[in-house]
Each structure stands twice: as structure tokens, then as C-alpha cells.
A and B are shown apart, each in its own frame.
Chain A
Amino acid sequence: MSDRLFAQQSAEDWLRTTEGRKVSSTRSLRGAMVLALVTIVIGLIMLSFGEPYQQRLAFAAYVNIVVVVGLQIFMGNSNVANLSHAGFMGIGAYMTAVLSTPLAMKAMQIPDAPFGLATTEYSVVPTVFISLVVVAVVALITGMIVARLNGIAATIVTLALLIIIHSVFEHWSELFRGNQAFFGIPKEANLEWGIVAGALAIIVARLFKDSRAGVQLRACADNELAARAMGVNVWRMRLVAWVLGGTICGVGGILFSYYMGTINARSFHFHQVFLTLAMLILGGMRTVTGAVLGVIVLSVGMEMIRYVEGGPLIVGIQFPEMLGLSGLALGVIIVGCMIWRPNGLMANLELDEVLGQYGKLGRWLRPRSMVLDSEGPPRAGARDGKTSKN
């Protein structure tokens, strides 16, 4: 016991003395802002010039940014594949629905709701707060199981978790309306909120990745034996990432609910899981930039594929309807990525780290002293701030 305590303390001292944390949090905040700025600019362009249907697609993309970034927090840092994130999104969405739907609508849809929910109606702030607390509590309870398991077993338990959450939505009809759509949710969200939430999620995820917990968790993912020998509490780090990631997915669900006004349990099942998973894998799950890039590329790509799937009329030729094409494309993307580019498009570098190799902006983004990093060899100039003092 005392040995372990000693190991833990010295590891923490070591993490402090290298100043890794302090420097890296300023740097990572700057880096996160670069990425967030890119998404904000894209969003503002969509806001000013986009057609209404394009804005709808853009909003869906921002919800997916929030969800995929939430997924990245656990999956990217712990390297344990998680398949239950859409379930957490669903919890956020359904909690918003049962809390904030107007009473008249509730009387029609869920007259027998438990906990007096049929006779109460909350405004936006308490709804968001209560929903997030519920998501976080569910994440905490499930996380205690998931964090105990290793790799594969953990993934299968997350899959079982998705099924559990889904079947609760489908069968607790007094509260969630079962397999019927839940409608009449006030439409409080708009694209602006989507952009803000996306940017915040990016910043939180990046700060977590470079925080002490994030670095420790990535160390566990790279070499659990070594990390444990350094005194890292694997269980606790996984749990922290799980709860944080799950809660952010819940934010995605809340946005979705408030924007669509109508939700259905099927929206938070396998299709959403596969879509967001493919986004994360394509972009590269080790970085927040990868998560965002994957969402952008696939949002555009899937829209095109959906167009072909519906049997379009191209230069006078009527193409047949091809149901299943989008699913096929997702599968091909996942398999192709795994075979040819298992680390995704971004691999190990964040956007700012790529930019950091060039010019004045790069110098601003580069770290001033050694930065604790668990990733591969540093690229010239990007990482080794120690040798290239500005």
C-alpha cells in the first residue's frame, strides 16, 4: 500500500515539475481557439449565405461536432471504442423533451408521466441544467462498470448499454412515448447556438486532452503497464473521461431536441452510432481536429451519397433508387480507413500543430518550453520548443 502511495506521489510531482501542465494548458487553449475559430467562420458563412435547407444540414453537422467531440474525449484518449454515445445523446434529447414540452402537448402525449412531469413545464435554463445532471449521473453509474473493464470487454459493454438505453426509450411509454415520435418540444435552438456549442465542446475537449488527466489517460492507452507503474489511476482517469464525454454527447442531444421539435428513439440508435463513429475514425480519433474534420468531410459526403441514393435525374438519365448506399459507404469508409489510414486523416497532429510549423502564427502557437506529450516523434519545429526558443 505504502509503495503504491509513494509511486503515485512521485508521479504527480514529476508531472508538476516539468511545468507540462501550465504551459500546455495555455498552448492548448490557443490551439483549441484556432480550431473553434475555423468552425465559427464556417458557421457564420452558412448563417449569412446558406439556404434554409443548407442551414438545417449545417445545424445537424454542428450537433454531430458536439457528439463526435464528446466521443473523442473518451475514445480518443483511452483508445477504448465506445458505441453508446448516441444513447447519451438520446438521454439529453429525451430529458429536454419531457421537461420543456408545453403542458397542453404533454397532456396529449404523456398524461401518465411519473414524477409529476405531466403537470410541470420548465424553461430553457433549468431544462438544460437538469438534463445535463441526469446524463452525467447515468454516465457516472455506467462509467463505474465500463472503466473497470479492459479494451474489448469494455466496448461490448458499451454496446449493451446502447441497447439498454434504447429499449428503455422504446418501452417506458408513460415517459418517453415508446416507439412513437415525441413532438411539440419548443424550438429554442438555432444555428447560432449550434455554433457556440460546437466551439465550446472543441475547447473543453482540447483542454481535457492536454490536462493532466488527459495526458495520464493517453499514457494508459499507449502502455497501461508503464502508466500504472508511474502511479496513474487508470480506473479514475477512464471514469473522468467517460463522464465528461457522455455529458458533452448529452449537450448534442439537447441541441438536437430543441432544434427539431420532434424526436424519435430511432434517431439515437445504430445509425447515429455508425455515422458518428465513421466521422471520428475518418478524421482521426487521437485529435480533436480529427473529430471536427471527420464531421465536416462526412457531412458533405453523406449528403451527396444520399442524393444518389434517392435515385436522381442526372443529365436526363433517371438513376434507380438505391436504398442502403449510404450505409454501404459508411462501411467502406470505416474499413478503408482502418486498412490504409488507421490513424485517420489528422493522425497525431492538431490543426494548430500543423499550422505551428509555419510563419508568425506558428510561432505564437508553439510552446515555450518542453511540453509533456505521449505522442510519436516530434515534427521539425512543431513540437520541440526547447530547441527553437522564440
Chain B
Amino acid sequence: MEYVVQQILNALSFGAEYSLLALGLAIVFSIMGLVNFAHGELVAIGGYMMYAMAAIAIQSLWWILPLAVLFTVIAAVLLERVAFRPVRRAPATTGLLTAFGVGLILQNIFLLTVSARPRAVPVLGPLNQTWSVGPFTISSLQVMEMLATGVAIALLLLFFKRTPIGVAMRAAAFDFATVRLMGVRANRVIAAAFAVSGFLAGIAAIFIIARRGAVDPLLGFNPVLKAFVACVLGGFGSLPGAVVGGFALGAIEVLILVIMPQHWGGLRDAAVFGLVGALLVWRPQGLLGKTVELGDKEA
């Protein structure tokens, strides 16, 4: 029983992490068609910010966490301004490769300026405790991660439904030209999209660092790769698809960990990706993706 509960919690917390990242990717993609491969480096920026702040004697989590998220948001908006604005009108492949290059640049800047080796960030230790609830022992981090993801999704819903810029963003995902004709500034909508994706990456960074206890240049690469697979699984560009895909991927991953023999543990990712590939044969457009007939105006 305890084992089952633990595995379900694992699946949910993996899923929460993937959903956070996948949402950030999907928001940017739905609005400007950019596949942001540099998203993982935003997570790493958040991580290095926490490391830097802890090093210059800010020890209170109440300062470190919000500041780290804030810095990630700023970094995301800056990245858009510097690197992605010039390729905004280019085809999707150009944007994708640009983002790849940006990721590569950031990784190597971390490598050059900090170190290739992981740097410990022990400040976040207090987040990672074990709680005993009745007969179960659970990790505080997992609970907080799920709660934070839930709150973030709720905030995002409010943002998209209630604020003018949120409504503009939803409209822009549908038809950017018309939104601009309505007098909404394109730059503002896109900057907002990047800010939201940076916000989500910052939250994800907190949990990733708290779990691993250290930051290294490739910190965000693997989680974001999973998030991409989650996006594809859910249907690329669909926000509900990103969340569903994230949790589905978390569930698949835990399922495979449970089923697969121990000594094959290293093949976990391969098995997960293989399974997702098989799912895509069945539904090439993803779980929630719609089949768009070519030439359709509505996507």
C-alpha cells in the first residue's frame, strides 16, 4: 500500500515538474511559433542565481526564492529581446535552431565563468524534508511541488481569463494579425509570453535545485527535453495538452521504473521515449492536439 502511494506521489511530482516546463514551452510556441530549446538554460540561470545569492550572504529563503524567480523572468525577457526578436518572422526551423544556439551559448558561458563541475546550493535543503502523515512517510518537496504547480496553473488560468494582456495572448495564439489590428502591441504580447515562461521556469528551477542540491551547466537540459516530449505527447502548442502530456509522461516514467528490472535502470529514458514514439504512431497530433487540415485558418 505504502509502495503504491509512494509511486503515485512520484508520478504526480514528476508530472508536476514536466508540466511546469512544458507549459512554459507551449505558451511561447502557441504565440510566436518558437520552439524554445533554450528553456533549460533559463532553469540553469535560476539555479546559478540561487547559488550566487547564497554565496553573497543572502541566506533567507524568503529572499532567495522570489529573487531567483524574478531573475529568471528578466533573463527570459532579455533573451527574447536579444536573440529571438531578429528571427521572429522566420520559419519555425530557423527559430528552433536559433534557440538551440542560444542554449549552447548559455551553457558554455556557465562553463567559462563558473565551472563545468556542479556547484552545491545547500540553502534549499530545508525544503527537502520527510513528513510522516499517518502511516506514510512522504517527501515535503513532492507535496510542495504539486501544490506549487497547482497554484501556478490556477494563477495562469486567472491571468489568461481576467487580465487584458492575458486575453490578448490567448487571442494572439489564435490570430496574431487581428490582435495587432485591435491596437495591442506585438512586442508586449511576446514579452509577456516570455515573462510567463520564465516565471514557470523559475519555479521549476527551485524544485529541481532543491532535489539535486547542486547546479551545473547542463542542469536544465534533461528536464526540458522531457518537457518537450511531454508537449509532443500532449499536442504541440496546446496549453491543456502541455499539462496533460506532462502528467502522462510522469505516469509513464514511474510505470516503467516499476515494471522494468532493476539492472536495466539506465534504459529508463530510452524506454519512456520509445513508448512515447509508439503513442505518436497511433496519434501523430498528440493526445489533445487537433488534426489541422492544411490550409485551415483555425488551429
A binds B: yes
- Residues of A whose CB lies within 8 Å of any CB of B are 79-81, 142, 144-145, 148-153, 155-157, 159-161, 163-164, 167-168, 170-171, 224-225, 228, 274, 277-278, 281, 322-325, 327-328, 330-335, 338-339, 342
Cα–Cα, bound, A142→B294 (Å): 24
B197 interface contact, C-beta 8 A? no
Identify the interface centre among A152, A159, A163, A278: most chain B CB within 10 Å of its CB: A152
- Contacting pair A327 B108 (CB below 8 A): yes
Q: Give the docked Cα–Cα distance between A336 and B93 (Å).
A: 15
Q: Are B112 and A171 in contact (CB under 8 A)?
A: no
Set of chain B residues within 8 Å of A153, measured between Cβ atoms: 232, 236, 280, 284, 286
Residues in B neighbouring A168, C-beta threshold 8 A:
267, 270
Contact of B112 among A152, A159, A278, A325 (CB under 8 A): A325
Flag if B112 contacts A334 (CB, 8 Å): no
CA distance A323 to B105 in the complex (A): 13
Please give 15 more A-B residue pairs, beta carbons under 8 A apart, in addition to A155-B96, A330-B104.
A79-B91, A81-B96, A144-B281, A157-B277, A159-B228, A160-B276, A164-B273, A167-B270, A225-B295, A328-B109, A334-B100, A335-B98, A335-B105, A338-B87, A338-B97
Whether the pair B280, A148 counts as a contact (CB closer than 8 A) is yes
How many Å from the CB of B137 to the closest CB on chain A? Answer: 31
> With the chains together, A305 CA to B276 CA distance in Å?
39
Q: Which 7 A-B pairs have the closest CB atoms?
A: A334-B101, A324-B111, A331-B104, A331-B105, A335-B101, A327-B108, A328-B108
Classify the secondary structure of B's interface with A.
Answer: helix
Indicate if the CB atoms of A327 and B104 lie closer than 8 Å.
yes
Chain B 214-254 interface residues, beta-carbon cutoff 8 Å to A: 225, 228-229, 231-232, 236
Provide 17 A-B residue pairs closer than 8 Å at the C-beta atoms, listed in order of the A residue. A149-B280, A151-B92, A153-B286, A156-B35, A156-B231, A159-B225, A160-B273, A163-B225, A163-B270, A168-B267, A277-B100, A324-B107, A324-B116, A327-B108, A332-B105, A338-B90, A342-B87
Q: Given A151-B92, A160-B273, A171-B267, are A334 and B97 neighbors across the interface (CB < 8 Å)?
A: yes
Most A CB atoms within 10 A — which of B35, B83, B108? Answer: B108
Interface centre among B93, B101, B225, B229 (most CB of A within 10 A): B101
Q: Is B164's beta carbon under 8 Å from chain A?
A: no
**Inter-chain contact A148/B97, CB cutoff 8 Å:** no
Q: Are B111 and A160 in contact (CB under 8 A)?
A: no
Do A323 and B116 touch (CB < 8 A)?
A: yes
Once A and B bind, how many residue pairs between them come within 8 Å at the CB atom?
137
Give how many B residues have a beta carbon under 8 Å from the other chain's beta carbons. 48
Residues on A with C-beta less than 8 A from B295 are 225
CA distance A8 to B276 in the complex (A): 33
- The reply to whether A156 and B112 contact each other, CB–CB distance below 8 Å, is no
Residues of B within 8 A of A331 (CB): 101-108
Residue of A nearest to B277 (CB): A145
Contacts of A225 in B (CB 8 A): 294-295
Of A142, A156, A278, most buried by chain B (CB within 10 Å of CB) is A156
Least CB distance from B244 to A in Å reads 16
In whole angstroms, how far apart are the Cα atoms of A6 and B275 in the complex? Answer: 38
Task: Pick from A151, A168, A335 the residue with the most CB of B within 10 Å.
Answer: A335
Question: Which partner residue on chain A sits nearest B274 by CB separation?
Answer: A164
Task: Give min CB distance, A153 to chain B, whole Å.
Answer: 5
Chain A residues lying within 8 Å of B229, measured Cβ to Cβ, are 156, 160
Please pick, from A148, A327, A338, the residue contacting B94 in the complex, using a CB distance under 8 A: A338
Contact flag A171-B264 (CB < 8 Å), given A151-B92, A156-B229, A323-B111:
yes
A281 touches B111 (CB 8 A): no
Which residues from B are CB-within-8-Å of A277? Answer: 97, 100
Pairwise interchain contact B232-A324, C-beta atoms closer than 8 A:
no
Q: Are B92 and A152 in contact (CB under 8 A)?
A: yes
Does B266 touch A at the CB level, under 8 Å? yes
Q: How far is the CB of B158 from chain A (nearest CB, A)?
A: 29
Contact pattern, B 32-74, Cβ under 8 Å of A = 1, otherwise 0: 0001000000000000000000000000000000000000000
Known: A148-B284, A323-B112, A332-B105. A80 touches B93 (CB 8 A): yes
Q: Which of A145, A160, A322, A323 is close to B281, meaning CB atoms less than 8 Å apart?
A: A145
Give complex CA distance A164, B273 in Å. Answer: 7
Is the CB of B86 closer than 8 A to any CB of chain A? yes
Complex interface residues of chain B between 180 and 209 (CB less than 8 A to chain A): none
Contacts of A335 in B (CB 8 A): 83, 98, 101-102, 105
Q: Are A81 and B276 in contact (CB under 8 A)?
A: no
**One of A149, A281, A332 near B284 (C-beta < 8 A):** A149
Distance in angstroms between the alpha carbons of A330 and B103 in the assembled complex: 11
Nearest CB of chain B from residue A85's CB, rounded to whole Å: 14
Give B231's nearest chain A residue, CB to CB. Answer: A156
A328 pairs with B112, CB closer than 8 A = yes
Annotate B257-299 by CB proximity to A: 1 below 8 A, 0 otherwise.
Answer: 0000000101101100110110011001010000000110000
Distance, CA A81 to CA B97, complexed state (A): 8
Give the distance to chain A from B32, nearest Cβ to Cβ, in Å.
13
A148 in contact with B116 (CB, 8 Å): no
A324 touches B112 (CB 8 A): yes
Q: Within the assembled complex, what's the spacing in Å between the Cα atoms of A228 and B294? A: 9
The residue of chain A having its C-beta at the shortest distance from the C-beta of B101 within the complex is A334
Residue of A145, A228, A274, A324 touching B280 (CB-CB under 8 A): A145
A261 → B minimal CB distance (Å): 26
Identify the closest chain B residue to A75 (Cβ).
Answer: B93
B93 touches A79 (CB 8 A): yes
In the complex, how many angstroms separate the beta carbon of A236 from the nearest chain B beta carbon? 15
On chain A, the residues within 8 Å of B284 by CB distance are: 148-150, 153
